[in-house]
Structure 1
Amino acid sequence: MEIANAVGANSGAPRTNRVVLEGVGARVIRGPDWKWGKQDGGEGHVGTVRNFESPDEVVVVWDNGTAANYRCSGQYDLRIFDSAPTGIKHDGTMCDTCRQQPIFGIRWKCAECGNYDLCSVCYHGDKHHLRHRFYRITTPGSERLFLETRRKSKKIAVRGIFPGARVVRGVDWQWEDQDGGNGRRGKVQEIQDWSAASPRSAAYIVWDNGSKNLYRVGFEGMADLKVVNDAKGQTVYRDHLPCLGDQGAGRSGPPDLKIGDQVNVDLELEIVQSLQHGHGGWTDGMFECLSSTGAVVGIDEDHDIVVAYNSGNRWTFNPAVLTKIAAPPVLRHRFYRITTPGSERLFLETRRKSKKIAEI
């Protein structure tokens, strides 16, 4: 499903325009190109996307109350921690752990199990097998990105307006003196949905004066609250989070796999057979692939990989099955030898045909 239609834009609209529409309300943390000190409160501290000044520049209100402009094209100051508050949803999907249906925000699809999906909360909450690799699908219809296993990846804690935090009214406050007056404090009890179409976009607060209510933290980019004593949220796989605005070259296979590469199948047989469903299947003749190195000779329109073997057989694989091996040195190439700067160069025979001696 094209995301442009989902947000009411023209289906032919440039992708950058769609990003602007999709991003408002997203909860973000600092990204790989961050160079702004502790404006955000420190690594892992969370803010809300308020609006886009242009496809290249975004305004964020951090939970600590600081508001500033950041880069979201070419250089990426921000990562998307949670896009569920924006209302992005993947119709026809369900989280196979918590049963959320449809999945809101980022969809995480297991590359090693048939038809298995997680929502962001469950993915970062270590549900399912940590050795399995996943595809990250940021928006419906977007290209999927093949990720490293969670087992090998770094986790950080997010901090901000989470249960236990102490807060005061924020930049978008419009609720009179429910809080007892400007500067009065309250405590976050729970992160909730402001509306069914905008999950995790609000916080339920108990004010020190005894008043209780729900306030916007992400809904339509609004920040009703400012944190004065932050709290720890969940831990997340930082490098698995997408950069805000980065359309990347998300692909269905490992990003460096190309024609001519040498590949092995290193997974267990049962996993390989499962991964092959919908990607060319599995036959008994393919057992040779488990003990032989093959060469990539084709990539089909579904991004499946065609591999040729010394037997003459060619088999089609799910890219998640394959491991690229280092290319051997090209010994058939001929070289020039240049002994000193400015000296004449001598054209040599190939190393493949030449005698080698051992060092003494």
Structure 2
Amino acid sequence: MSSFQLGVVGALFLSVASSVSIVICNKALMSNMGFPFATTLTSWHLMVTFCTLHVAQRLNFFEAKSIDIKTVTLFGILNGISIGLLNLSLGFNSVGFYQMTKLAIIPFTVLLETLFLKKQFSQRIKFSLFLLLVGVGIASVTDLQLNFIGTILSLLAIVTTCVSQILTNTIQKKLNVSSTQLLYHSAPFQAAVLFVSGPLVDQFLTKQNVFSHKYSRMVLAFIVLSCLIAVSVNFSTFLVIGKTSPVTYQVLGHLKTCLVLAFGYTLLHDPFTERNIIGIMIAILGMGLYSHFCTQENKKKQQVDLSLASQAKEKDGSPHLTHEDKESLEAKKLGKGSLV
């Protein structure tokens, strides 16, 4: 259990560090250097991730386990579609409404897991998630401009993102594959979807063509850096969801949002108000409570499992009389009776 807990902590730390790093890198690339092609950049991220994992597999860092090709294909396509829909949602909606879309992923994931996977969430867990969502909402949501197409895209993005994250956890456990193996097999299909749709989506949103963009040395350097960091981001995403749950990954995502706001203020001198500070404090309180309640419930579950295992062991260790033993006992009784 101690090694498992160390693995979880390491996965969480890697996810936070890499995600915050890539957000700062991409913000500099898109805001300061004028490279706005987010969907196409994501396809490059996934292709570099696959190439890196392929080299690692060739060097025997992990074993490539065979997975049903239909499952991997559908899973990879669904992941690619969810990324494209999130980017389209950001393009059609205001930043505030996009943040609300990301906030809605947690309650919708809880709803799907409760309905289809029969997973139970205690009232304490739900309260901590509610505090977290309120805090992130206060800190990050500014304006809420609604439009029909943007709302439809946001709903589709929520559904596909929730389902893909639940499938990430379910496939790893049911097929007994590691996060590295699943990412290695699914990354090409995700990249293929975004390779085809990325330039079209980016041109529609930015009115610019990614192939006719002027690439300076600085832009190329930041693109390479972004792709290298993305390997860690993609790997840690699958690792965290596999070791914990989709809800925990979403909670971690909102921690990243708070950290990005804080780093944006300190490093990039973004505007920061009392509302941001209050929202971040409430969100951190919600995250702390969620972590505390999850730890308590996991300990109780472990104690129950241990007690059940010990009871089963005691039952297995108790002597059971075979048919031959019964016959020998009866013979002894008869022998004693004849002596009397």
TM-score interval (norm. to shorter): under 0.3
Q: Work out which structure has the larger RCO, using CA pairs closer than 8 Å and 6 or more positions apart in sequence.
A: 2
Larger proportion of helix: 2
TM normalised by structure 1 equals 0.25
TM normalised by structure 2 equals 0.26
